[in-house]
Structure 1
Amino acid sequence: MSALEIRKVRKDFGSERVLKEVSLAIDSGEFLILVGPSGCGKSTLMNAIAGLEPVTSGEIHIAGEDVTWRTPAERDIAMVFQSYALYPSMTVRGNISFGLEMRKMPKAEREAAVERVADLLQMSHLLDRKPSQLSGGQRQRVAMGRALAREPKVYLFDEPLSNLDAKLRVDMRTEIKKLHQRLGTTIVYVTHDQIEAMTLADRIAVMRDGHILQLGTPDEVYNDPVDMFVAGFMGSPSMNFIAATLEGAPGRFQLRIVTPEEDDLVLPWPRQRETPAMTEQVGRDVVLGLRPEHFSEEDERLAGQAEGTPLSARVSVSEPTGADILLRLPLGEREVTARVGPTCRVAPGERLALRVDMARAVLFEQANETRLA
């Protein structure tokens, strides 16, 4: 039985359809992340699951029970908001126990629950402080503690880290990951940050315009995207899209990339990555997708052993990041980003010998931006 099941949920605001018959099932103990650009419908879907927003049509089931028209209090869910939503006049202890008190939990059980989550989140020393005396990260811990004290069927996190600075966001991300691994709770988590999605999720639902475009593991949505939107949205820096023409026949497909100032670049397509649909696209314009890490600096010492297709390009910009270097270089009619090692020594304007890993490349139809191979 799924912990949460959403069946053809639709939500209209006047004449605007924000959710377009969304369906998905979340297993017990699963960490599912809804990700997508602003306005894609992910927060609306979260509010529908919580009961904060009535659906126009469709059904929502929690632990096998139809809760579509139940109030938030009747759904046995706990929600952690972006804004923390703490009571400023109450101490941390009071904030955590308030919801339990409203549910008529005996005092001894309430106090035990508060101590349990305070110990779990390492904030026992903060229990007598008020929110104004806490940092942003500490307030977010209190908001999480209030939800964890309830032990509901499903936890909902609505962009809980977006108000934190970059370092604290990384730290809290790690804490949430540890918490889920320790407790095995069912979590639905909304974010626009695809790094959060990749690091936290068991599965990711990528949304756009009220639809779920792809539902899969982080590895699936990153390495096997269904279309150009998913491919471009997941990953930082994002995937490079290069206009090309598909040539050849099964067993010897190749991609021709027109370079305005030099000879055309021809890249062979690996046989193991061929699909039947490619035959119909021969002679047509397609889009080659290469992630920055699919490029590597050529090493003359390993020239006979190195994998990948060699190419040469003139570097326009070099951006050291510490762990690696991002290079901007022209490939075809536009610039692409290549991620190379921190020891790569190349100045803007110089040519660099590279290898491109075509075994990990993806191919899209140009007309509708769907995956071709």
Structure 2
Amino acid sequence: MSALEISNVCKDFGSEQVLRDVSLAIDSGEFLILVGPSGCGKSTLMNAIAGLEPVTSGEIRIAGEEVTWQTPAERDIAMVFQSYALYPSMTVRGNISFGLEMRKVPRAEREAAVERVADLLQISHLLDRKPSQLSGGQRQRVAMGRALAREPKIYLFDEPLSNLDAKLRVDMRTEIKKLHQRLGTTIVYVTHDQIEAMTLADCIAVMRDGRILQLGTPDEVYNDPVDIFVAGFMGSPSMNFIVATLEGGAGDYRLRIATPGEEDLLLPWPAARETPDMAGHVGREVILGLRPEHFGEEDARLGDRNEGTRITARITVVEPTGADILLQLPLGEGEATARVGPGCRVAAGERLALRVDMGRAVLFDGETERRLA
């Protein structure tokens, strides 16, 4: 039985359609992340699951029970908000136990639950403090503790880390990951940060304009994107999109890339990755998608073991990041980003031989921007 099932949900605000026929299902214990740019409808969908926003049409089921028109209190969910939503006059202990008190849970059980989550989140020493005496990270732990004190069917996290600084966000992300692994709870999590989505999720729903464009594992949405939007949204630095012309035929497809000031580049498309749709695109403009890590510095010492198609390009920008180096090079109508190892010795303005891993490249229709191969 699915822990959460959403079927054909639509939500209108006046004449504006914010959710458009959204459907998805996750199993018990799964970590689903709703990701997308601001205004894509992910927070509206979260509020619809929580019962904070009534849907215009469609159906929502939690643990097999239809809850579409139930109040938030009837849905047996717990929510962690972006703003923490702590009661400033209450201590940490009071904030954590408040929901249990409202549900008339006996005092002994409330106290045991507070001690349990405080120990789990390592905030036992903060139980008698007020929210104003806590850091942002500590407040977020308290907000999580208030949700964890209960054992609902689903936990909802609405951009819980967006108010934290970069380092603390990374630390809290790790803590949430550990928490999910330890408890095996069902979580629906909203974020606009694709790094959070990739590192935390079992399943990612990429949203745009009120629709789910792709629902899949982090590996699927990263390596097998359904269109240019998903491919560009997931990954940092983002995927390179290079305009090319498809030539040849079955077993011998090639991509011709015209770069100003350089000879046309011909890249062979792997026969093992051909699709029937490619035949109808010969002679037409297509878009080649290459991630920065699909480039590699050519090393003569590797000889025949060096895989990929060789290109030579003049490097325009060199950006060392410590763990690796990002290179900018002209490719097609614009510039591409290549990620190489920290040992690469090249300066801006110099030419460098690179290998392109066409076995991991993706191809998009130049007009529809949908995945072609």
Q: Distance in 2 between matches of 1:20 and 1:137?
A: 35
Counting only pairs closer than 5 Å after superposition, residues 252-291 of structure 1 correspond to structure 2 as: 252-291=252-291
Counting only pairs closer than 5 Å after superposition, residues 80-159 of structure 1 correspond to structure 2 as: 80-159=80-159
Q: Distance in 1 between matches of 2:334 and 2:192?
A: 27
Q: Distance in 2 between matches of 1:302 and 1:312?
A: 17
TM superposition shift of 1:149: 0.4
Which string of whole-angstrom CA distances, capped at 9 and with x for unpartnered residues, describes residues 184-233 of structure 1? 00000000000000000000000000100000000000000000000000
TM superposition shift of 1:303: 3.1
TM superposition shift of 1:305: 1.8
TM superposition shift of 1:356: 0.4
The yes-or-no answer on 1:44 pairing with 2:44 is: yes
| Alignment: residue pair count | 373
Counting only pairs closer than 5 Å after superposition, residues 204-219 of structure 1 correspond to structure 2 as: 204-219=204-219
User: Counterpart of 1:343 in structure 2: which amino acid?
Assistant: G
Cα RMSD between the aligned structures? Answer: 0.5
TM superposition shift of 1:292: 0.1
User: Counterpart of 1:360 in structure 2: which amino acid?
Assistant: R
Q: Which residue of 2 aligns with 1:347?
A: 347
User: Counterpart of 1:27 in structure 2: which amino acid?
Assistant: D
SS of the residue aligned with 1:34?
strand
Q: Distance in 2 between matches of 1:48 and 1:263?
A: 55
TM superposition shift of 1:333: 1.5
SS of the residue aligned with 1:86?
coil
Q: Distance in 1 between matches of 2:338 and 2:305?
A: 21
Which string of whole-angstrom CA distances, capped at 9 and with x for unpartnered residues, describes residues 166-192 of structure 1? 000000000000000000000000000
Q: Which residue of 2 aligns with 1:23?
A: 23
TM superposition shift of 1:307: 0.2
TM superposition shift of 1:302: 1.4
Q: Distance in 1 between matches of 2:99 and 2:80?
A: 13
Q: Which residue of 2 aligns with 1:249?
A: 249
Q: Which residue of 1 aligns with 2:161?
A: 161
Q: Which residue of 2 aligns with 1:237?
A: 237
Q: Which residue of 2 aligns with 1:72?
A: 72
Q: Which moved more, 1:191-200 or 1:324-333?
A: 324-333
The 4+ residue runs of structure 1 with deviation greater than 4 A are: none
TM-score, length-scaled by structure 1: 0.99
Q: Distance in 1 between matches of 2:305 and 2:59?
A: 56
User: Counterpart of 2:107 in structure 1: which amino acid?
Assistant: K
User: Counterpart of 1:57 in structure 2: which amino acid?
Assistant: S
Q: Which residue of 1 aligns with 2:321?
A: 321
TM-score, length-scaled by structure 2: 0.99
User: Counterpart of 1:192 in structure 2: which amino acid?
Assistant: H
- Structure 2 residues without counterparts, runs of 5 or longer: none
Q: Which residue of 2 aligns with 1:34?
A: 34
SS of the residue aligned with 1:303?
helix
The yes-or-no answer on 1:176 pairing with 2:173 is: no
TM superposition shift of 1:304: 2.4
TM superposition shift of 1:300: 1.4
Which string of whole-angstrom CA distances, capped at 9 and with x for unpartnered residues, describes residues 287-323 of structure 1? 0000000000011111322000000000100111000
Q: Distance in 1 between matches of 2:157 and 2:279?
A: 45
Counting only pairs closer than 5 Å after superposition, residues 5-16 of structure 1 correspond to structure 2 as: 5-16=5-16
The yes-or-no answer on 1:201 pairing with 2:201 is: yes
SS of the residue aligned with 2:266?
strand
